[in-house]
Structure 1
Amino acid sequence: MDERYAFTVEWYDFNASLTRRYQFLYFVADNTIEMYDIKNRRTFLKRSKCDSVCLSDFFIGSVINVHSRQLTIVDYADEYTRRQLSEVSERTLAIIKPDAVKHMGSIIDIIHNEGFKVCRAQMVHLTRKEAAEFYEEHTGKAFFENLLDFMTSRPSVAIELMASNAIKKWRTLLGPTNSATARLEAPSSLRAKFGTDGTRNACHGSDSPSSASREIQFFFGMRRQSTAQFTNCTLCIVKPHAVAAGLTGKIIENIEKKGFTISALEMFNLEKANAEEFLEVYRGVVAEFNQMVVELCSGPCVAMEIRADDAPRVFRDFTGPADPEIARHLRPNTLRATFGKDKIKNVVHCTDLPEDGLLEVEYFFKILQQ
């Protein structure tokens, strides 16, 4: 049987200033796609191979890249697709709390290894009003004020997770609320490994579908102020191929171990125009410019503000040569030597010129957020 899933997708046409809507068909057996223009009632794209997508990319709210167009999946287009996929695409909200942000690389790596898909992520610094709104169900309880003090003390990282039975699965991975109890009853849980007590317990997880919906909307339903500091900084981007391969956690872990401060983090889906604009400095300089653009807008990437003394230079040294093969010979302990595949899929972008460190950070954490 030629298993087929159907979705309604939207694409914003910048030239016409219109949002166009299509029926999108995905055929599992041969990884082919077909698109039908709903308004004009005609085939828009004949059935053809598309290696930039796979079945796990298809869920409501997902942004997929097809032939340099970014399509947002807004609904299932038939009941069969809804029945088959809604069960395996349950969402929940995870928060890496302020006490565990220093361990976020390890936690994100565990998230990947447990089979969760990270749909969205952002480092945030809650105000007291925001924290009180988020934890309103605990208003008046003895620990409430202490909880607010803790959650507003430093940034945390909000993550939208997706998996089959995601809510229960994530809460099981978290372990008991009190970290001491977790160490006794669930020693392999996140709270046992990274938590301290009942408040400083490393991570949060939604407790029901209604809570998950409200909490995801709370963090991702509006544009939030970034935590970027725009001083002594440089930019690191975990490229789409590395995100898809589940390397984000390992890369962050390596950055943390080297002593760099990650002061801002967000997952982005870049349009081709944005990727070209950001990489403009390489146009006519490197032969791989077009391939670099295609890679950067081929799927979600994770951008980070990295802070240190002389950050652009020292972080670039830590990243290593652009060609991972050269890096493995000359700088075997660098990020690209450890995780890179080739000059295009070399796991991370880093700021090359010291004077561009702040400019690149501002591009992601100011310009793209306007």
Structure 2
Amino acid sequence: MHDVKNHRTFLKRTKYDNLHLEDLFIGNKVNVFSRQLVLIDYGDQYTARQLGSRKEKTLALIKPDAISKAGEIIEIINKAGFTITKLKMMMLSRKEALDFHVDHQSRPFFNELIQFITTGPIIAMEILRDDAICEWKRLLGPANSGVARTDASESIRALFGTDGIRNAAHGPDSFASAAREMELFFPSSGGCGPANTAKFTNCTCCIVKPHAVSEGKCYVEYTIFSTFC
């Protein structure tokens, strides 16, 4: 293992008992000899073929137009076999929106996209399952909601989206994009990312217990989200 920053070898091939095969999936953080490592991509095609279907993490983002349907979307995510490992409701500033959509800056709809994503709260989630990136994209459906209603009528964008911009939810296209976007919302450095919408006034703590989630009883209405998140 080569330390790119310090231009030296960090680790030669050796046995490490605290690291297991099930820990090796894109987006996971592992600790090797007191150094935290983030797995962002596969080293070669052979490794990708062997491990590509194992558990991955990706970003699921509910956009402002679908916040009122957040409970239904989260229910769909759970029923599809995903585990939600992190969740946060937030309002993006213009700068944060520009950083998030940097890959689209040359597109003609870029300004409209930035304006839309900053019009209201969003919900960012880190979700986990086998082949998470591809499975989440399949669950989302085509980017244009009109096309989704024709080609994937049961997809999230078909059910809750309006068009190519207001299309309910977002998911990264690749391992690298997933790692970059999750870092924006859930920094590995320990930072908090974009500010959440919590008011911390007249509030309390609500915990959905594991058995309720597994039994499909975690439906959350927007009124709860808007009050407590």
Q: Which category describes the TM-score, using the shorter chain as reference length? A: 0.7 to 0.9
Deviations 1:102-131 (A, max 9, x none): 111111111010011111111111100010
More strand by share: 1
Normalising by structure 2, report the TM-score. Answer: 0.73
Deviations 1:243-299 (A, max 9, x none): 65264642x14xx4xxx34237xxxxxxxxxxxxxxxxxxxxxxxxxxxxxxxxxxx
Deviations 1:73-118 (A, max 9, x none): 9799xxxxxx998742111111001111111111111101001111
Q: Which residue of 1 aligns with 2:45?
A: none
After superposing on structure 2, the runs of 4+ consecutive aligned residues of structure 1 that deviate more than 3 Å are: 22-26, 58-62, 73-76, 83-87, 246-249
Among 156, 167, 184, which residue is 2:133 paired with?
Answer: 167
Among 205, 226, 232, which residue is 2:196 paired with?
Answer: 226
Q: Which residue of 1 aligns with 2:7?
A: none
Change (3 A) 1:119 1:204: same
Q: CA deviation at 1:228?
A: 1.1
Distance 1:25 1:127 in 2: 39
Among 73, 82, 89, which residue is 1:107 paired with?
Answer: 73
The answer to whether the Cα contact below 8 Å between 1:89 and 1:164 also exists between their aligned partners in 2 is: yes
Q: Which residue of 2 aligns with 1:178?
A: 144
Q: Confirm or deny that 1:123 pairs with 2:89.
A: yes
Deviations 1:18-55 (A, max 9, x none): xxxx95599xxxxxxxxxxxxxxxxxxxxxxxxxxxx9
Normalising by structure 1, report the TM-score. Answer: 0.46
Q: Which residue of 2 aligns with 1:210?
A: 176
Answer with 1 or 2: which has the greater Rg.
Answer: 1
The answer to whether the Cα contact below 8 Å between 1:107 and 1:249 also exists between their aligned partners in 2 is: no
Q: Confirm or deny that 1:235 pairs with 2:204.
A: yes
Q: CA deviation at 1:216?
A: 0.9
Distance 1:226 1:234 in 2: 15
The answer to whether the Cα contact below 8 Å between 1:190 and 1:202 also exists between their aligned partners in 2 is: yes
Percent of pairs with identical residues: 40
Gaps of 5+ in 1: 1-21, 27-54, 63-72, 77-82, 265-304, 307-370
Distance 2:184 2:76 in 1: 25
Q: Confirm or deny that 1:195 pairs with 2:164.
A: no
Q: Which residue of 1 aligns with 2:225?
A: 262
Bigger relative CO (Cα 8 Å, ≥ 6 apart): 2
Deviations 1:293-341 (A, max 9, x none): xxxxxxxxxxxx17xxxxxxxxxxxxxxxxxxxxxxxxxxxxxxxxxxx
The residue type paired with residue 234 of structure 1 is C
Among 245, 250, 257, which residue is 2:214 paired with?
Answer: 245
Distance 1:155 1:248 in 2: 24
Change (3 A) 1:86 1:23: farther
Change (3 A) 1:262 1:163: same
Q: Which residue of 2 aligns with 1:34?
A: none
Q: Confirm or deny that 1:98 pairs with 2:67.
A: no
RMSD across aligned positions (CA): 3.1
Q: How many residues in Structure 1 have an aligned counterpart in Structure 2?
A: 193
Change (3 A) 1:84 1:168: closer
Secondary structure of the residue that 2:170 maps to in structure 1? strand
The answer to whether the Cα contact below 8 Å between 1:121 and 1:157 also exists between their aligned partners in 2 is: yes
Distance 1:131 1:215 in 2: 11
Change (3 A) 1:237 1:61: farther
Distance 2:106 2:50 in 1: 43
Q: Which residue of 2 aligns with 1:362?
A: none
The answer to whether the Cα contact below 8 Å between 2:145 and 2:157 also exists between their aligned partners in 1 is: yes
